[in-house]
Amino acid sequence: MPITEAQVKDALSNVIDPDLGQDLVTLNMIEDIRIDGKKVAFTVNLTTPACPMKAEIERACHNAIKHLVDEEAEVAIKMDSKVTQGRAPQAEGQENMLSGVKNIIAVASGKGGVGKSTISVNMAVALAKDGAKVGLVDTDIYGPSIPTMFNINERPNINTQRRIIPLEKYGVKLLSMGFLVDQDQAVVWRGPMVSSAVKQFLTEAEWGELDYLVMDLPPGTGDIQLTIVQSVPLTGAVVVSTPQDVALDDARKAVAMFRKVNVPVLGIVENMAYFTPPDMPDKKYYIFGQGGARRLAEKLDVPFLGEVPLEERVRSGSDSGAPVVIEKESSPASEALVAISQRTAQQISIRNASVPPTEKIEILFK
Ligand SMILES: Nc1ncnc2c1ncn2[C@@H]1O[C@H](COP(=O)(O)OP(=O)(O)OP(=O)(O)O)[C@@H](O)[C@H]1O
Ligand SMILES: [Mg+2]
């Protein structure tokens, strides 16, 4: 009996996307089915190339064909992706703001120095490594980090339409206030000047088509942060904290700030979770306390995205312009950073699937 396309679809309708809770056929994820004798080929279009379930879904598809269609079938699966779009509704007059950007992620904290820039940079690079089109924007005008963390000192060019062309490194399009503003000058800028400069610099840049634009925010939950998050149609926010109480109190304020302006919190990251001395790989020292951010996430009912240990390589990579996730040899911190990026992409996919854009307006403004 020759294998038919209907049989293949039938079999794949038994494979459930664990995040979205529906089968791959209903979700329109199966494309390009080709059958040639015992050879069965098809494409699975996931909602993100950074899907942490990719291998599991591929295995389930393979098994479905083997068990439900023909155990002699030669199955060839192409795992591809089409990133879904999710953005908050834009305020009037902003219709074309960042129109080619599917998802905008803000990385925030209450307290300074907890690792926002480290998480933003590594998340952007890890998502790009997984195959997504990624941009990263550093909105911290008083203490920009991206020039150092990518070791870039040049100024971006302007195209013929007088739009800023982002620089590019490790597959990530980059813009930092630090590329444009003289640091000695920035110190005297007042809040409204900062937010209008950030807005201008976001809208007047040539980002092109992006799956994810990661926004590294300045520390705090004051006027500057509030204006920035309100001037951009954000998909969601990632809140970074260390496990210590002073940082957690501020992380709670950051979550409250996003909730107040109806920006979904995609999750909380615990940075500097513990330290393992290189010569004592089995030891974990909880320098800033243990598990505080995880507990906070549970209490606030937001996803916990993972914990990143304190590691010398994270710091030295940031200082030398080589984010730790590009290193060939992985480490507990780099693995954690990759997993956190994938979980963030996963939360975005879940959100985009469960909240249709039209209903989103209603829910957001309740
Ligand atoms: N997991 C880690 N292991 C080792 N060093 C880290 C880790 N996370 C961050 N650091 C270091 O801690 C310092 C502060 O991190 P980072 O600049 O990312 O924080 P931030 O929250 O962006 O700070 P700011 O509030 O000033 O913007 C940096 O020197 C960075 O390299
Ligand atoms: Mg920073």
Which of 9-13, 153-157, 224-228, 270-274 is predicted with the least confidence, judged by mean pLDDT?
224-228
Give the chain's domain count. Answer: 2
Which conformational region is residue 5 in: left (phi greater than 0), alpha (psi within -120 to 50 degrees), or beta? alpha
Q: Which residues line ligand 1 (CB under 6 A)?
A: 109, 112-118, 140, 143, 145, 219, 271-272, 308, 310-311, 314-315, 318, 333
- Centre of ligand 1 to C-alpha 310, Å, is 10
157-184: average pLDDT: 89
Claim to verify: residue 190 and residue 108 sit in the same structural domain:
yes
Claim to verify: residue 125 and residue 42 sit in the same structural domain:
no
- The 30-36 sheet, strands edge to edge: 30-36, 39-46, 74-81
- Centre of ligand 2 to C-alpha 121, Å, is 10
pLDDT digits (tens, 9 = 90+) for 27-77: 999 999 999 999 999 999 999 999 999 999 999 999 999 999 999 999 999
Residue whose Cα lies nearest atom 12 of ligand 1: it is: 115
Q: What does the H/E/C string look like for 300-329?
A: HCCCEEEEEEECHHHHHHHHHCCCHHHCCC
Claim to verify: residue 188 and residue 73 sit in the same structural domain:
no
- Centre of ligand 2 to C-alpha 53, Å, is 30
pLDDT digits (tens, 9 = 90+) for 71-130: 999 999 999 999 999 887 666 555 567 889 999 999 999 888 999 999 999 999 999 999
Query: What's the residue count for the chain?
Result: 366
pLDDT at 193 over 60: yes
Phi, psi torsion values for 8, nearest 5 degrees: -65, -45
Q: Which of 109, 111, 118 to mutate to test the pocket of ligand 1 (most atoms within 8 A of CB)?
A: 118
- Centre of ligand 1 to C-alpha 102, Å, is 28
Residue whose Cα lies nearest atom 16 of ligand 1: it is: 115
Claim to verify: residue 137 and residue 56 sit in the same structural domain:
no
- Tell me which of 131 and 181 has the higher pLDDT: 131
Claim to verify: residue 64 and residue 209 sit in the same structural domain:
no
- For residue 54, the enclosing domain spans 5-81
